[in-house]
Amino acid sequence: MIKAAKELCKDVPACTFEVLDVTALPSSPTLQQGTFTKAFSNAALHWILRDPETRSGVFPAVHAALRPGGTFTFEMGGLGNVSEMRSSILLAVTRRVGLDKALASDPWFFPDEDWAKTEMERAGFRVDRVEREWRPTPTDKGGVEGWVRLMGKQILEAVEDGEEREECVKEVVAVLNEVCKMPNGGTMISYVRLRCQGTKI
Q: Cβ distance 186 to 104 under 8 Å?
A: no
Main-chain dihedrals φ then ψ at residue 10, nearest 5 degrees: -60, -25
Backbone torsion region of residue 98, taken as left when φ is above 0, otherwise alpha when ψ lies between -120 and 50, otherwise beta: left
CA dist., res. 20 & res. 190, Å (int): 31
Which among 198, 150, 194 is positioned nearest to 173, based on CA atoms? Answer: 150
Whether the predicted model's global pTM rises above the 0.85 cut: yes
Average pLDDT estimate for 17-36? 82
Please state which of the ranges 47-56, 106-115, 170-179 shows the lowest mean pLDDT. 47-56
pLDDT tier at 69, thresholds 50, 70, 90:
very high
